[in-house]
Amino acid sequence: MSSPAARPALHPAYLRLLGAVLARQGLDAGPLLRTVGIPAEALAGETLIDAAQLEALVGAALAASGKPWLGLELGAAAQVLSHGPLGLAAAASGTLQDALTLIARFLSLRAPWLTLTLVEQGPRLQLVLTPMPELAVSRRTLLEAALVMLEQLIVALSARDAGEIAVELPWGPPDWARHYASYLRAHCRFVPEATVARMTLPPGLAAAPVLSADPAALAYARAECQRRLAEGAAGRDLRAAIRLQLADPRGPYPDAATVARRLGRSLRSFHRDLAVEGIRWQTLLDEARCARACALLTETRRPIAEIALELGFAEPSNFSRVFRRWLGQSPGDYRAGRRPAAVDHDETAAD
């Protein structure tokens, strides 16, 4: 089994863009690529570079350029067709939301380092950008590039102004924060405690028609994206995408239909893709619930009945029975063997 650092992360087309951005500064990307073990011929291929190489390359590029806002410049260098058949499919879609749904569905073909989730909030559509957890040095740079690319794509497809778009950046304002205004027209807000980036579209924008809509081109591009996904070029990350959706500790767990919609799939295609990958929905859901149950039992003294309810069990006895199946012991015995790290309530419920 490959290590997490060996997970595919980015299509080489974006390395070509990075090389062009560095060249404008008189820098040669060749030595940087060799330093991190990426052969020059890889730039002309379709094989995605892995997370470890991406981390090393972005770190080297930031040091060489002396520009901590390099991600903003990288994002600005992208055009619609920089995204290959995915860009073509987006440009041929009927509405902006159709285009964004396709991007969310097939993003792993180009950038599996990122999961894009569409969340409808009344008349507004929110785009949630969740980076691969292995990324540290490159996280901010890549998120900045992705946000600029998304905003440019939205403006290009809809011919609408981006001034009413709101962006939440999951870090504090850097010393060079003034550069954001040069690349993002959206209103940017820094949220240091956040773990994901968010872009919220104003009412009506998601329903805006795509000016370059072309049903025939859309059918071709979507079929090509589906073909590549079916070949497994990036479908390996479906499990990780689902785990990210189930990892949010706030609120009830989403059902399969909700996760499918967030990942840009129909429920039917979602279950079909799970079957192709040999993944069971219930297994991933139980894995997430077990992990949260263990954290709550270990890190708090909340009543077991309350924990059971949060995890979706109507009765503590049902929770206890399932927990025994997961770990071979009761919730109370599991808690007794570990020292709580925090105290929220007095424990009043038994197994």
Render 109-129 in DSSP notation, one character per residue.
Answer: GT-TTEEEEEEEETTEEEEEE
Q: In this model, does residue 350 exceed pLDDT 50?
A: no
Amino acid at 145: A
| Residue listed under structure tokens 């009412």 | 203
| Residue listed under structure tokens 């180009």 | 110
Tell me what pLDDT residue 18 has: 96
What does the pLDDT look like over 117-132, one tens digit per residue?
999 888 999 999 999 9
Q: In this model, does residue 75 exceed pLDDT 50?
A: yes
What whole-number distance in Å separates Cα of residue 270 and Cα of residue 263? 9
Pull the structure tokens for residue 329: 């012991």
What does the pLDDT look like over 301-329, one tens digit per residue?
889 999 999 888 889 999 999 998 888 88
What whole-number distance in Å separates Cα of residue 286 and Cα of residue 327? 11
Burial class of residue 39, CB neighbours in 10 A (0-12, 13-18, 19+): exposed
What does the pLDDT look like over 98-111, one tens digit per residue?
999 999 999 999 99
Pull the structure tokens for residue 55: 């981390």
pTM of the shown model? 0.67
Q: In this model, does residue 2 exceed pLDDT 50?
A: no
- For residue 35, what is the enclosing H or E element? helix 29-35
Strands (E), the chain: 8-10, 49-50, 114-121, 124-131, 166-169, 187-190, 197-201
Residue of higher predicted confidence among 263 and 62:
62
Residue of higher predicted confidence among 147 and 248:
147
Render 47-105 in DSSP notation, one character per residue.
Answer: PPEEHHHHHHHHHHHHHHH--TTHHHHHHHH--GGGGHHHHHHHHTSSBHHHHHHHHHH
In which band, very low, low, confident or very high, does the pLDDT at 343 lie, cut at 50, 70 and 90? Answer: very low
What does the pLDDT look like over 270-283, one tens digit per residue?
888 888 777 889 88
- For residue 350, what is the enclosing H or E element? none
283-336 CATH pick, 3.20.20.80, 2.40.30.10, 1.10.10.60, 3.40.225.10: 1.10.10.60
Tell me what pLDDT residue 329 has: 86
The Cβ of residue 255 has, within 10 Å, a number of other Cβ atoms equal to 11
Tell me what pLDDT residue 251 has: 67
Lowest mean per-residue pLDDT among 99-108, 222-231, 331-340: 331-340
